[in-house]
Amino acid sequence: CFCELKGNVDECECSVDLVDKFNNYRVYPRLKSLLSKNYFRFFKVNLRKPCPFWPDDGGCASSACAVESCTEANVPQEIFQNIKNKSNIFGPVNNPKLSSESLDAGKCNEGSDEELGYLNTTLTKEMSADLALWKLHDDSQHSFCDVDDDNNNDSVFVDLLLNPERYTGYKGSSAQRIWKTIYEENCFKPKRGYGPYIDSTNVGDLCLEKRAFYRAISGLHASINIHLCAQYLHSHGVPGLQRWGLNVEEFQARFDPDRTHGEGPKWLRNLYFLYLLELRAIAKAAPYLEQLPFYTGNETEDAEVNIAVHDLLNQIKSFQPHFNESSMFTGGSKQARKLKEEFRHHFRNITRIMDCVGCDKCKVWGKLQTQGLGTALKILFSGSFDKANPTAFDLKSMKRSRFQLTRNEIVALFNAFGRLSNSVYSLELFQQAALN
């Protein structure tokens, strides 16, 4: 049991099987196709922001973690250009020249190292001052993330398709310190501690909101580790034998109850918990998301993306919600507001810790997934999406209001949910492989 957030977080009204079926047959195939489109594959990120918590510890020397840049021409000009203008989610900039130029874009760094999938990025030009307007709402009180400044010359576009999240070999003290800091300092630590980080039985001591916070982070951790097991580099360093694929042994070492003091299955349940949380956020924002043009300048692809987004959102809306955000931060009391503020502060800190990740590839996906989760939290808890009436999301009024989601937030939200969907799907593959 893992689903319904009530007084007791383990009270449950739906089964893992139900989520598996819904995800594997209805969500996963649709998302996989959607996330391959140009609108969703380019994520803007600053990989050079210094770690705000400790001196750079050198990080990961593995070539699998390395960053390679690709040229500006590889990013569709409309995406590139619209970042500079706050019309980036609402449609074209008045520059007809850009539309035709963008048609061939979207294939960056084709000659990259195929085995290890180097990161491909492109350095941006100087960004316009208009961006400051966008930044305003990111920095507003609603934001759960310490987002990168798009205006910074160090911010680059990364092609997510060419840089899949998978095994990189990032481990040891640097990786441990990140997870340890996230859990020990930012996860509302339970009073009694056990093991290297947190024994989830003690999480029961926490109040509902803090348990939810821990479970979301643990679910993210589980998802990242599932991906490195699902896309593992076998026979690393052996010429001719290297191949990417499932590593059942690695998966068992990380999640088998006997090898994790009984914790592994709980971590997997936390993955489902996070899945339902993000699913609920997307369903809640659906009336808003349905009105976005997902503009890249390529008319055919934009039309396809619009149809595909509607189709996906219809599926998501048809699934009965199991995450009930209205049971959190209730009462409107000073204490509830304080708790919400604390929650936001802790989560923002986690997004800042991502700047300390020593492997650039892991950092890109870590930043994307925390920003995606932060966007989901913003949707769930900012109050801006609480109105049930879709007309409340009238595009013109959204344009006028400062509350909007940036393209990067939308890309992060869909891709972060795509990662969770992929993890749930991968669990079935591990199950089948273990049976064979």
Q: Please identify which residue in 105, 248, 357, 398 interacts with ligand FAD, judged by CB under 6 A.
A: 357
Considering the complex, state which of residue 183 and residue 295 has its C-beta at the smaller distance from ligand FAD.
Answer: 183
Using N-to-C axis directions, what is the helix angle for 334-353 and 360-381, rounded to 10°?
Answer: 160
What burial class does residue 100 get, using C-beta atoms within 10 Å of its C-beta: 0-12 exposed, 13-18 middle, 19+ buried? exposed
Amino acid at 297: G
Query: What CA dihedral angle connects 237, 242, 245 and 249, to 10 degrees?
Result: -50
Q: How far is the CB of 64 from ligand FAD (least distance, A)?
A: 8
d(CA 228, CA 295): 32
b vs e for 307-338, b when ≥16 Cβ sit within 10 Å of the residue's Cβ? Answer: ebbeebbebbeebebbbebeebbeeeeeeeee
Considering the complex, state which of residue 150 and residue 263 has its C-beta at the smaller distance from ligand FAD.
Answer: 263
Q: How far is the CB of 247 from ligand FAD (least distance, A)?
A: 11
Does residue 275 touch ligand FAD according to CB under 6 A? no
Q: Please identify which residue in 118, 170, 347, 425 interacts with ligand FAD, judged by CB under 6 A.
A: 170
d(CA 99, CA 93): 10
b vs e for 52-81, b when ≥16 Cβ sit within 10 Å of the residue's Cβ? Answer: eeeeeeebbebebbbbbbbebebbbbbbbb
Does residue 176 touch ligand FAD according to CB under 6 A? yes
Considering the complex, state which of residue 287 and residue 366 has its C-beta at the smaller distance from ligand FAD.
Answer: 366
Query: 86-105: which residues touch ligand FAD (CB under 6 A)?
Result: none
Closest CA to 367 of 167, 193, 76, 156: 156
Considering the complex, state which of residue 275 and residue 393 has its C-beta at the smaller distance from ligand FAD.
Answer: 275
Measuring CA to CA, how many Å separate 15 from each of 18, 185, 307?
Answer: 5, 32, 30
Does residue 221 touch ligand FAD according to CB under 6 A? yes
Contact segment (CB under 6 A) with ligand FAD among 218-226, 329-337, 377-385, 402-410 equals: 218-226
Contact segment (CB under 6 A) with ligand FAD among 125-133, 163-171, 184-192, 419-427 equals: 163-171
Q: Is the dihedral of CA 389, 394, 400, 404 positive or negative?
A: positive
Tokens, residue 15: 């089964």
| Size of site (CB under 6 A) for ligand FAD | 24
Spell out, one character per residue from 192 to 211, where the chain touches ligand FAD: x when CB under 6 A holds, - when not.
---xxx--------------
Does residue 165 touch ligand FAD according to CB under 6 A? yes
Question: What single-letter DSSP state applies at residue 51?
Answer: P
Contact segment (CB under 6 A) with ligand FAD among 22-30, 91-99, 165-173, 375-383 equals: 165-173
Does residue 143 touch ligand FAD according to CB under 6 A? no
d(CA 67, CA 433): 33
Q: Please identify which residue in 28, 288, 365, 430 interacts with ligand FAD, judged by CB under 6 A.
A: 365
Does residue 171 touch ligand FAD according to CB under 6 A? yes
Query: What distance, in Å, lies between the first and last C-alpha atoms of the chain?
Result: 27
Answer for the pair 279, 323: CB distance below 8 angstroms, yes or no: yes
Amino acid at 288: Y
Which residues, listed in sequence order, are joined to residue 43 by a DSSP beta bridge? 158
Does residue 366 touch ligand FAD according to CB under 6 A? yes
Contact segment (CB under 6 A) with ligand FAD among 46-54, 113-121, 304-312, 358-366 equals: 358-366
Considering the complex, state which of residue 3 and residue 178 has its C-beta at the smaller distance from ligand FAD.
Answer: 178
Considering the complex, state which of residue 165 and residue 325 has its C-beta at the smaller distance from ligand FAD.
Answer: 165
Q: What is the binding site for ligand FAD (CB under 6 A)?
A: 165, 167-168, 170-171, 175-176, 178-179, 195-197, 218, 221-222, 224-225, 228, 267, 357, 361-362, 365-366
